[in-house]
C-alpha cells in the first residue's frame, strides 16, 4: 500500500469514530491503535475530513462533529478494548505527566510567523519559554494589569452598543450582522491594549486573518521532510514569507511610533509609571520598559517583543470573537435561556446606562451560559500539539519520546462519561458546581491546562462577559424572517479557530429603561 493511501486510511479511521488523539507522527512507521473510546472503529473517510498534500489543515480542517473523543494514537492497526474517558487521559497529559508533555513539535510555519519561534505559544520547551511565559504572566497578564484596562473594555463595549443602536434607528431593516460587531469589538480592545490605539484599516484586519489562518495550516514537510518541496510549488511558503514581511513592516512601524513618543517625553515626564492606578501602558510600552531597564533579569530583544505582540493577537482576537459568536448563537437558538439571562442582567442593571465590570460578579447565570457555550464550542477544538520529551506510560500504554499529543477539547466537552445529555445546551448544569475552565477541571479545558495552558484566560473572559452582559441588557434578539431558534444554522467553518460558517444575523430591538 502506498504512503498516501496509508495516510488516507489512517486519517479516515482517525476522524471517523468517537476518539481523541495522541499521535506519533514518525511516518516511516505510521500505524494505528484505537483506545480510550467507545463504539466501533470505522475505516471509511468521514465526509467532513479534508486531506491533500501540502498546505491543508490536516488536523484542524475538520468539522468538529468528526473530531475524536478522548485520546487516540497512531501506533498499530489493531483495535484495542475501551479504556477510560477523555478527561482522564487529558489529566494524565496536562497534570500527571505535564512536564514530560510540555514541549511543542517543531512547526515550521508557526516558527516563521513568530520570528523563529520567539513567542510563548508555539516555542519549544526550555529556558527561553520559561522566561518568556513568566514575563507574560507577571508583567503583561497579571490581575492588576488586566484590571487597568477596564476602561478600554467598557469604552469599546459601549461603542459597539451605540453602533447597533444607530444601525437600528437609521436602517429600514432591524436585522443586524452581529458577527461584524463582535469582530470590531475584539479587534478594538486588543489593538488598544497591545498597541495603544486602534488600527481599523481593512488591510490590517485582512492580514491578521491570514496570519491566524496560516497558524492552522498543516505543513506536510514538518513530518515527511522529503515532501517539503510540495509547498514550494503550491505557493504555501511564498504566502508565509509575504505575511511574515507585511506583519514585520507593520510591527516595526508600531514599535518606532512608540519609540518616537518616548523620545519626545525623554526631556520631561518618564513614559512609564511604576505604581498605583496610573498604570495605563499598552503592552508595547511595557515590553520596551522591560527591554530598557532589564526588569526581568534577561535580555529581551526586538524580535521577542514583536513575537509576544503577535501572540496577543493570535490568542486575543480570533478566539475571543469565536467564543462570543457561539454564545450568541446558542442564545438565539434557545430563547428561554436568553430570556432567563436577560432577566438576571436587567435585575442587576436596574435601569442604569450600562453594565460595568463591577456588576459581573453578581451575574451568576451569565457565567454559566458562557461555560456551557465553551463546553460545546471551544474556540480551538483541537488544542495546539504537545510533544513528549521522554518515554512515558499513558493510561497504561507505553508512549515513546517524541510522540505528538493533540487533545480534542471539543470531544472531551461532549463526553457522555463526564456530562449528562452532553449534546444539550443547558447552562443550569454549571449553577451548583465549582467546575471552571481555568485548567483544574479536565472535563472542561477549552483553554488547555498545565504549563502550556493559555495564560490569558482572565483577559479573554473580561471581554466576553462584559460584551455579552451589555448586549442582552440593551437589546432583545430574535432569529430573522420569523424562523424558530431551533432552525438556526449552527454549521461550522473550517480552521484552527472554529467559527460559525455563516455570520450571526439577528433581529435586534433596543430596550428602553
What's the pLDDT tens digit per position in 196-214?
988 876 778 888 889 989 9
- Please check whether residue 443 is in contact with residue 412, taking contact to mean a CB–CB distance below 8 angstroms: yes
pLDDT band at residue 97 using 50, 70 and 90 as cut-offs: very high
What are the boundaries of each domain within the chain? 127-221+230-365+439-510
Q: What is the pLDDT of residues 230-268, one digit of tens each?
A: 888 889 999 999 999 999 999 999 999 999 988 887 755
DSSP 386-432: EE-SS-EEETTEEE-TT-EE--BHHHHHT-TTTSSSTTS--GGGGTT
- What cell numbers appear for 207 in the block? 492580514
Top pLDDT among 170 and 380 is at: 380
pLDDT band at residue 430 using 50, 70 and 90 as cut-offs: very high
Q: What is the pLDDT of residues 328-355, one digit of tens each?
A: 999 999 999 999 999 999 999 999 999 9
Distance, in Å, from the CA atom of 272 to the CA atom of 309, rounded to the nearest integer, reads 18
- Residue 78: the pLDDT is 27
454 annotated to a ligand binding site: yes
- Residue 22: the pLDDT is 43
For the cut 90, the answer to whether the pLDDT of residue 133 exceeds it is: yes
- Residue 179: the pLDDT is 95
SS3 177: strand
- Please check whether residue 64 is in contact with residue 409, taking contact to mean a CB–CB distance below 8 angstroms: no
- Residue 177: the pLDDT is 95
- Residue 285: the pLDDT is 94
127-221+230-365+439-510 belongs to which CATH class?
A: mainly alpha
Q: What is the pLDDT of residues 280-291, one digit of tens each?
A: 789 999 999 999
- Residue 513: the pLDDT is 65
- Please check whether residue 359 is in contact with residue 348, taking contact to mean a CB–CB distance below 8 angstroms: yes
Q: What is the pLDDT of residues 4-43, one digit of tens each?
A: 333 333 333 333 333 344 444 443 333 333 333 333 333 3
For the cut 60, the answer to whether the pLDDT of residue 410 exceeds it is: yes
Share of the chain above pLDDT 90, in %: 57
SS3 88: helix
Top pLDDT among 297 and 23 is at: 297
Amino acid at each position: 500500500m502506498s504512503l498516501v493511501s496509508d495516510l488516507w486510511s489512517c486519517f479516515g479511521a482517525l476522524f471517523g469514530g468517537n476518539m481523541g488523539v495522541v499521535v506519533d507522527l514518525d511516518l516511516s512507521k505510521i500505524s494505528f491503535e484505537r483506545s480510550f473510546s467507545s463504539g466501533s472503529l470505522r475505516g471509511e473517510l468521514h465526509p467532513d475530513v479534508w486531506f491533500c498534500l501540502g498546505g491543508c489543515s490536516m488536523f484542524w480542517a475538520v468539522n468538529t462533529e468528526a473530531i475524536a473523543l478522548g485520546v487516540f494514537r497512531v501506533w498499530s492497526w489493531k483495535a484495542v478494548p475501551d479504556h477510560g474517558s477523555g478527561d482522564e487521559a487529558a489529566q494524565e497529559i496536562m497534570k500527571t505527566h505535564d512536564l514530560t508533555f510540555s514541549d511543542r513539535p517543531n512547526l515550521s510555519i508557526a516558527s516563521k510567523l513568530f520570528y523563529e519561534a520567539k513567542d510563548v505559544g508555539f516555542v519549544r520547551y526550555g529556558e527561553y519559554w520559561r522566561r518568556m511565559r513568566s514575563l507574560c504572566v507577571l508583567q503583561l497578564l497579571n490581575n492588576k494589569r488586566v484590571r487597568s484596562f477596564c476602561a478600554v473594555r467598557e469604552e469599546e463595549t459601549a461603542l459597539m452598543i451605540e453602533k447597533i443602536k444607530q444601525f437600528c434607528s437609521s436602517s429600514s431593516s432591524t436585522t443586524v450582522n452581529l458577527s461584524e460587531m463582535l469582530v470590531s469589538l475584539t479587534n478594538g480592545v486588543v489593538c488598544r491594549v497591545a498597541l495603544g490605539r486602534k488600527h481599523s484599516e481593512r488591510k490590517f484586519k485582512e492580514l491578521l486573518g491570514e496570519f491566524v489562518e496560516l497558524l492552522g495550516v498543516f505543513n506536510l514537510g514538518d513530518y515527511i521532510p522529503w515532501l517539503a518541496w510540495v509547498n514550494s510549488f503550491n505557493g504555501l511558503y511564498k504566502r508565509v514569507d509575504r505575511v511574515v514581511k507585511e506583519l514585520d513592516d507593520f510591527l516595526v512601524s508600531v514599535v518606532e511610533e512608540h519609540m518616537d513618543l518616548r523620545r519626545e517625553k525623554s526631556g520631561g515626564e518618564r513614559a512609564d509609571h511604576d505604581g498605583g492606578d496610573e498604570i495605563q501602558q499598552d503592552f508595547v510600552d511595557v515590553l520596551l520598559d522591560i527591554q530598557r531597564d532589564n526588569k526581568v533579569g534577561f535580555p529581551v530583544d526586538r524580535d521577542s517583543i514583536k513575537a509576544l505582540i503577535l501572540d496577543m493577537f493570535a490568542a486575543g482576537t480570533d478566539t475571543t470573537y469565536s467564543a462570543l459568536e457561539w454564545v450568541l448563537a446558542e442564545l438565539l437558538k434557545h430563547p428561554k435561556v436568553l430570556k432567563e439571562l436577560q432577566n438576571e442582567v436587567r435585575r442587576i442593571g436596574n435601569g442604569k446606562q450600562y453594565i460595568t465590570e463591577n456588576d459581573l460578579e453578581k451575574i451568576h447565570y451569565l457565567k454559566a451560559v458562557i461555560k456551557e457555550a465553551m463546553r460545546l464550542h471551544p474556540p480551538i477544538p483541537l488544542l495546539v500539539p504537545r510533544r513528549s520529551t521522554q518515554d512515558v506510560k499513558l493510561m497504561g500504554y507505553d508512549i515513546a519520546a517524541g510522540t505528538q499529543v493533540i487533545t480534542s477539547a471539543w470531544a472531551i466537552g461532549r463526553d457522555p462519561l463526564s456530562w449528562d445529555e452532553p449534546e444539550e445546551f443547558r447552562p443550569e448544569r454549571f449553577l451548583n458546581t465549582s467546575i471552571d475552565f481555568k485548567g483544574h477541571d479536565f472535563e472542561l479545558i477549552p483553554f488547555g491546562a498545565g504549563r502550556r495552558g493559555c495564560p490569558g484566560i482572565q483577559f479573554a473572559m473580561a471581554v466576553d462577559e462584559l460584551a455579552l452582559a451589555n448586549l442582552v441588557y440593551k437589546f432583545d434578539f430574535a432569529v430573522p424572517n420569523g424562523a424558530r431558534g431551533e432552525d438556526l444554522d449552527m454549521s461550522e467553518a473550517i480552521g484552527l479557530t472554529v467559527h460559525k460558517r455563516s455570520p450571526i444575523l439577528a433581529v435586534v430591538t433596543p430596550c428602553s429603561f
